[in-house]
A and B are shown apart, each in its own frame.
Chain A
Amino acid sequence: MLVVEGLVKRFGGFKAVNNVSFKVDQGEILGLIGPNGSGKSTIFNMLSGTFPPTSGSMTFDGAEISGLPPHRIINRGIGRTFQIPRPFHRLTMFENVALAGYFGQCRHSRAKADEAAERALAMVGLPADRSMSVDGLGAAGLKKLELAKALATGPKLLLADESLGGLDDTEMEQAADMLRKIRDELGITIIWVEHIMGVLMRVVDRVMVLDHGEKISEGLPSEVSSDPRVIEVYLGTDADATQAAAAQARRPGAAHA
């Protein structure tokens, strides 16, 4: 579905992303992890058209998307959520989602946009109350709104950016289940960016690990969490999370590395 080859992004002399290639298959959930500054968000920004890659290609459904402006990429079917929710405060919660529905997929039909918004809100478990303001929403509610906005654009591929920052353990589990539900029920392919490994490892089909802009590991959660290079990257910075993830992903009886 998505084929990325030799992706490079340079900011001045700094290579934020260096020769990264990967594929995402229809219907899978790919986890994209790595420490802060490893290039995860830069890859997302290129995939969603915020800025073009320095070199490399990104093919979505057989068509090149690098260099397209963000609204064209959204219209092709790649939706995106943000690490820090950015709702429009002047609009109601419903308007936020319906606007994404209108411009994302069903332009020229207000009724269809409203339907898309209602479906998206129901999916994430927010009320479709048209007078509700966004200001009363807590951290978890804002994350849900962010997800509803992305869903309302009618994506085939969803880029979920560090969806779990600022949530407690229960909320994290719920959010992880939500992403799986979105894949299972709507058939939406997902790339999920996180720096917390724990919950992510339970839900994703495959994981890709970035460090300093390069891909250092890729594979099943169980393989990746026992990869010495991955452990090295996470040691000292987020060692507990790595171990927790390894424990969660390890199948019973698997050899301990």
Chain B
Amino acid sequence: MMDIFDIYLLEAIVNGILLGGLLALLALGLNLIFGVIDVTWICYAELVMIGMYGMYYMVQYFGLSYFIAAPLTILLVAALGALLHLLVIAPLLSAPPINQLLATGGVLFVLQSFATVAFGIDFRNLGIRLPVLQFADMHFSYARLLAFAAALIGMVLVYLFMKRTYVGTAIRAIAQDRQIMALMGVDTRRIYIITSALGGALAGLASCLLVLQYDIHPFVGLSFGPITFLVCVLGGLGNFVGGFVAAFVFAEIISVGGLFSDLEWGYVLAFAFFIVMMFIRPAGLLARRS
């Protein structure tokens, strides 16, 4: 017979897995951009924030159904990603990394300020309240289950695109040698734009899912941007598999760690874990020992 503590622990572990799927999705987008273009989109979570506002206005203002608004939002944020590349990254491609970092950092503040001015600082939500699933005395929110499933599907689609198409093959390889890629007939600018749009689309998908769990406000990116960044670093920046594993490790620490007192303590433990890991495995969880 299970005692009460075990059920809570199990519930926390399952919730950790659900959170991990979402974190893995966010990390995949950031890793994709870093792994392929060698640029860190500091403003990644702000693209998600814009996508969440997109969902809000489409659902609440134009009265679209959630399932019509979601693909539109994915397209919108994909276009934003491509635009970010064309306007900010492309001119700085051969600039020092610190300049690229500062530029995308600048975009972060521009997007936050834009959202504040355009949408105000009120907390908004879709007004959709999904029920809670009860199973063997444990409670799981449908929003999280849906997010987990959709994140998984999104990641599988990206994986298939990368493995089964030659555009995907070029995306996987281009980071090693941009010059040779061009001499194989590949328009490298086009590959970068496709990659940026794909990174944007992943942010768009994340925003459709997060909007079911979080209220929308101009600074909502701060709730998951830094964690996404830490997950990527923990997995090894640009390492897709590492990011995936790190997302679940991080999510479990947050979820199970939060069990002992507040959820905030889970975050404290996760960040402490991150700092310790940076000393032990600075190149990421899955990095080979040299």
Determine if B184 and A153 form an interchain contact, defined as CB atoms under 8 angstroms apart. Answer: yes
Determine if A113 and B166 form an interchain contact, defined as CB atoms under 8 angstroms apart. Answer: yes
Q: List 20 A-B contacts (CB under 8 A).
A: A48-B183, A49-B182, A70-B182, A71-B186, A71-B187, A74-B183, A86-B180, A88-B173, A89-B176, A90-B173, A91-B173, A98-B169, A99-B184, A100-B185, A103-B185, A103-B186, A103-B187, A104-B184, A110-B166, A153-B184
Determine if A98 and B172 form an interchain contact, defined as CB atoms under 8 angstroms apart. Answer: no
A82 / chain B contacts, CB cutoff of 8 Å: 180
Q: Which of A74, A95, A110 contacts B185 (CB 8 A)?
A: A74
Interface residue count on the B side (C-beta < 8 Å)? 17
Determine if B183 and A99 form an interchain contact, defined as CB atoms under 8 angstroms apart. Answer: no
Determine if A88 and B166 form an interchain contact, defined as CB atoms under 8 angstroms apart. Answer: no
Within 8 A of B (CB), among A67-107: 69-71, 74-75, 80, 82, 86, 88-91, 95, 98-100, 102-105
Say if the beta carbon of B6 comes within 8 Å of chain A.
no
Say if the beta carbon of A143 comes within 8 Å of chain B.
no
Other A-B pairs, 18, CB within 8 Å; known A99-B173, A110-B166: A48-B183, A50-B183, A69-B187, A71-B186, A74-B185, A86-B177, A86-B180, A88-B173, A88-B177, A90-B173, A90-B176, A91-B169, A91-B173, A99-B166, A99-B184, A103-B184, A104-B185, A110-B165
Say if the beta carbon of B65 comes within 8 Å of chain A.
no
Residue of A nearest to B179 (CB): A50
Residue of A nearest to B164 (CB): A110
B241 / chain A contacts, CB cutoff of 8 Å: none
The distance from the CB of A42 to the nearest CB of chain B, in whole angstroms, is 15
A80 / chain B contacts, CB cutoff of 8 Å: 183
Mask: chain B, 171-204; 1 = CB below 8 Å from A; 0 = not: 0110011011011111110000000000000000
Identify the A interface with B (CB < 8 A).
48-50, 69-71, 74-75, 80, 82, 86, 88-91, 95, 98-100, 102-105, 110, 113, 149, 153
The distance from the CB of B82 to the nearest CB of chain A, in whole angstroms, is 19
A70 / chain B contacts, CB cutoff of 8 Å: 179, 182-183
Q: Which of A91, A110, A113 contacts B172 (CB 8 A)?
A: A91
Determine if B176 and A103 form an interchain contact, defined as CB atoms under 8 angstroms apart. Answer: no
Say if the beta carbon of B86 comes within 8 Å of chain A.
no
Residue of A nearest to B184 (CB): A100
Q: How far is the CA of A88 from the CA of B171 in the complex (A)?
A: 12
Q: What 8 pairs across the A-B complex have the smallest Cβ distances? A: A104-B185, A103-B185, A74-B185, A70-B182, A102-B166, A88-B173, A100-B184, A103-B186
